[in-house]
Amino acid sequence: MARARAVLDYVASLTDGQAGALLDVLTGRSGRLWTDALVL
């Protein structure tokens, strides 16, 4: 039960762009998970 809650919390914290990128990776449409460069 705790694992499902952790996954739900993680997914809920994603931005729209991150959620779209994650969907692309999970469905095989993209090879990279995060494409945004880290901005300092």
- pLDDT-based confidence at 33, cuts 50/70/90? low
CA separation for the pair 27, 37 (Å, rounded): 23
Query: In this model, does residue 35 exceed pLDDT 70?
Result: no
What token pair was written down for 4?
Answer: 């499902």
Mean pLDDT (the chain) is 78
User: Quick one: average pLDDT of 12-24?
Assistant: 86
Q: Which of 19, 40, 15 is nearest to 30 (CA)?
A: 19
Instruction: Name the residue ranges covered by the structural domains of the chain.
Output: 1-28
pLDDT at residue 23, as a whole number: 84
